[in-house]
Structure 1
Amino acid sequence: MSKKKELSPELKAECDAAKALFVAKKNALGLTQASLAEAADISAAAVAMYLNGTNPLNAKFAVVLSRLLEVPIEKFSRRLANEISELTSETDRVEAPTQSASAADMVRQMLAKQGKGLSDEARNRLLAAAEEPSNVITADFSRPGLVGDEIRIAHYDIRGAMGDGQKAADFPEMLKDIRVSQRHLRELGVEYEDYNYLKLVTGWGQSMEPTIKHRDPLIVDISIRDFVGDGIYLYSWDDLLYIKRMQVADADNFEIISDNARHTPKRIRREDTHILARVLLVWNAHLV
């Protein structure tokens, strides 16, 4: 039996990036390899082969992983992001099909109208995905529409601890998704590149008072996954979620600071810290 050929460094890097994101977010999102397998309609062994770099990532698994981890595909595979973008961009230029049209019918319409520039391989892949029920793409590639100047910010069902750390769990929330004016956000000094990466999370604890109070909603930017300067970050450390002020202490450590003077600063290793988002705005509500 011949030995399986190893992946190229580029394909292996994609698998490593996907695995790192999965490890960083699985506790917060309540994910397991088994749940990935169920969502992708494949075996748990197949998921392990993707994450461990035995098999290269493909478009179908990338879409499922992107949806469950709530990150864009380009975070772990620019190759697949471009491939999917090329395929889906063709469908964006097709006239709206009738409601009775099947997925395969819609793809055939697209290929007939705009498919001349696609390779045979791309055409066949599109048709195969549309005709096979298990390959139906469940991720929503369309971006939420604007109502005037409004955008919708999804509420993450997680809470970041401003204290001893939190595991993702069920808990009552006052807010769900919110709609807000982009102009108003800009006037408040909120800076972001793409509103689709803005999310709402909940602060939990007292260590960041008075800046952030217990159960204050926070608008965060999940496109920021690395340290980009002093600020308040949502991060995972030792399998727990935190919201703290973060600075660089030295080449190996972050300085973690609580705004509440009763909590002393501490250092944590940078290699053990997984930044999930940067806090942009505290959505305070004060009783009057």
Structure 2
Amino acid sequence: MDIREVRRHNLKKLMDKEFGLGARGAQSRLAEKLKKPQNFISRCLFEPEKNGAKTIGEDFAREIEEAFGLARYVLDAPMETGGEQVNEAATDIAKPRQGDICIPQYDVRASMGPGQVAPKEYVETVRNITVRSEYLREQGIIYTHAENLAVITGFGESMGATFSSGDPLIVDKGITEVVVDGVYAFTLDGMLYIKRLQRLPKMIRMISDNEAFPTYDIKGAELESLVVHARVLLAWNARRL
């Protein structure tokens, strides 16, 4: 199901749970709770093919979660149902416990090889994971802010000595420049990469942890096209046993 349709279904379930299934005036009360005009809420609940139907965008989805006291990005995942109403136990599980961090996964692939064209919608959230903050601390992970964490997927073999093609990678989107050496997600000349970057005098060296791939020095005018999107903090490695 398309994420926009998931959000619409979830908003209706939240309305039914909060104000009663099919209750008169439910949309008005929902509009009041969300501080939006009733017509706006009504259009958000329209079937997609109906004239005037409105998409629940990224910003409004986060406002809905905040108004209902839900974890960020819960609205983007299908909610369990019991009959016609939201299953309360499932909703409770969706709320993070103290110390949990909800990390969204982005529909973006970065290349660990020759590069891929960067997607136009870099930040379209498709799902999320929840981890204990203690786990990140145990792994020695330092990040700018929990809301800057995200999960992306790298494809290719050039970083094979460190992580494999297809591994989920936790990144920090709050880091947008190469201050210290590390692995980064970045674009160069419009191509998207995940590589190790090393700052050197007047240039930045792009390094593949697989020795079969040569290093590359980014310098001169080419530095102008380097855009750092995030620093890679941790690879969620999966190994067949």
Same fold? TM cut 0.5: yes
Distance in 2, Cα, partners of 1:100 & 1:238: 45
Cα deviation, 1:113-167, whole Å, max 9, x if unaligned, reads: xxxxxxxxxxxxxxxxxxxx9xx97363547363232221111101111111012
TM, length-normalised to structure 1: 0.50
2:100 is the alignment partner of 1:178: no
Tell me which of 30, 35, 42 is aligned to 1:103.
35
Distance in 1, Cα, partners of 2:101 & 2:204: 34
Distance apart, 1:176 and its partner CA: 3.9
Match of 2:214 in 1: 264
Cα deviation, 1:164-197, whole Å, max 9, x if unaligned, reads: 1012569xxxx94211111111111111131111
Structure 1 letter corresponding to 2:198: Q
Match of 1:196 in 2: 147
Match of 1:239 in 2: 190
Structure 2 letter corresponding to 1:222: K
**SS at 1:207's partner residue?**
coil
Greater strand content? 2
Match of 1:140 in 2: 62
Match of 1:276 in 2: 229
- Give yes or no for contact 2:111–2:154 (8 Å, CA) kept in 1: yes
Distance apart, 1:247 and its partner CA: 0.7
- Give yes or no for contact 1:149–1:182 (8 Å, CA) kept in 2: yes
Distance in 1, Cα, partners of 2:30 & 2:61: 19
TM, length-normalised to structure 2: 0.59
Distance in 1, Cα, partners of 2:176 & 2:36: 37
5+ residue gaps, structure 2? 1-27, 38-53, 73-94
**SS at 2:117's partner residue?**
coil
Structure 2 letter corresponding to 1:191: I
2:154 is the alignment partner of 1:222: no
Distance apart, 1:265 and its partner CA: 0.6
Distance in 2, Cα, partners of 1:198 & 1:104: 29
- Give yes or no for contact 2:179–2:199 (8 Å, CA) kept in 1: no
Distance in 2, Cα, partners of 1:200 & 1:277: 11
- Residues 186 and 264 (structure 1 numbering): CA distance in 2 closer, same or farther, change over 3 Å? same
**SS at 1:218's partner residue?**
strand
**SS at 2:186's partner residue?**
strand
- Which runs of at least 4 in structure 1 moved beyond 4 Å after TM superposition? none
Distance apart, 1:257 and its partner CA: 0.5
Match of 1:250 in 2: 201
Match of 2:11 in 1: none
Identity %: 36
- Give yes or no for contact 2:190–2:225 (8 Å, CA) kept in 1: no
5+ residue gaps, structure 1? 1-96, 106-132
Distance in 1, Cα, partners of 2:237 & 2:132: 17
Distance in 2, Cα, partners of 1:215 & 1:261: 19
Greater helix content? 1
Cα deviation, 1:210-249, whole Å, max 9, x if unaligned, reads: 2011111100000111112000000001111000000113
Cα deviation, 1:23-46, whole Å, max 9, x if unaligned, reads: xxxxxxxxxxxxxxxxxxxxxxxx
2:122 is the alignment partner of 1:209: no
**SS at 1:261's partner residue?**
coil
